[in-house]
Amino acid sequence: MKIIMLGAPGAGKGTQAKMIAEKYGVPHISTGDIFRANIKNGTELGMEAKKYMDQGLLVPDELTVKILLDRVANEDCKNGYVLDGFPRTIPQAEVLDKALTELGDKIDYAIDVDVPDENIVKRMGGRRACLSCGATYHIEHVPPKSEGICDKCGQELVLRDDDKPETVKNRLNVYHEQTQPLIEFYTKKGVLKAVDGTVDMKDVFAAIVEILG
């Protein structure tokens, strides 16, 4: 099963992708997590990506496509995967489509987690991330057991630099301009399914399970 999560930054793609990965036994692949791991390890890719991420801009397609295609070529992806944060532009979607077509394969579902802009800025300000294991929390909706500490690995939780309100506004603009057109792209392919992302995360997941079966 090959699944793409679509939706604005902070819509809950990562939250749902982790639950899908666990229930259906497929890897959760987040290009954002891959970039953040590279930044943390001080790699060349990380330094390059950081320049864009800090401004709320997209990392250029050439860099992003390469890391994604390398990742999905791994053995653990042979039965499928859930992509979170990729594709984010039409050219990225086209490259993925071409790579899959060459293998006689395709995306099964593109799930759009729909949340209006008004809700997003509030959500992102409350998000806390563990840069060590990738877990995410929310100070109101999903608080960690001990304030500021990751339940899973005990590392410190942070407000991501790009979750600060001024950067979130840029990210939303970028989303509307460059990523939202993917909704039409996948509608035309007949694989788009939309879910209401404003309800409780368990109810969002129930709606997704209804679609995936």
If one counts every other C-beta atom within 10 angstroms of the C-beta of residue 9, the result is: 25
Contacts of 168 (CB under 8 A, 6+ apart): 9, 10, 56, 120, 121, 124, 125, 162
What residue 2 binds from ligand AMP, ligand ADP, none (CB within 5 to 8 A, per partner kind)?
Answer: none
Nearest by Cα to 25 from 80, 98, 102: 80
Q: What distance in Å separates the CA atoms of residue 6 and residue 110, rounded to the nearest whole number? A: 7
Residues that bind ligand AMP (CB under 6 A): 9, 30-32, 35, 52-53, 57-59, 64, 85-88, 92, 162, 171
Contacts of 146 (CB under 8 A, 6+ apart): none
Give me the catalytic one of 2, 18, 71, 171: 171
**Catalytic residue flag (residue 127):** yes
Strand-by-strand arrangement of the 192-196 sheet: 28-30, 81-84, 2-6, 109-114, 192-196
**Catalytic residue flag (residue 160):** yes
Token pair recorded at residue 48:
């390059």
In whole angstroms, the minimum distance from the beta carbon of 80 to ligand ADP comes to 19
Which of 3, 4, 6, 13: binder of ligand ADP (CB under 6 A)?
A: 13
Part in contact with ligand ADP (CB under 6 A); list of ranges 104-112, 120-128, 149-157, 177-185: 120-128
What residue 58 binds from ligand AMP, ligand ADP, none (CB within 5 to 8 A, per partner kind)?
Answer: ligand AMP
204 binding ligand ADP? (CB under 6 A): yes
83 binding ligand ADP? (CB under 6 A): no
Give me the catalytic one of 36, 88, 123, 128: 88
Q: What distance in Å separates the CA atoms of residue 30 and residue 14, rounded to the nearest whole number? A: 8
180 binding ligand ADP? (CB under 6 A): no
Give me the catalytic one of 18, 36, 123, 160: 160
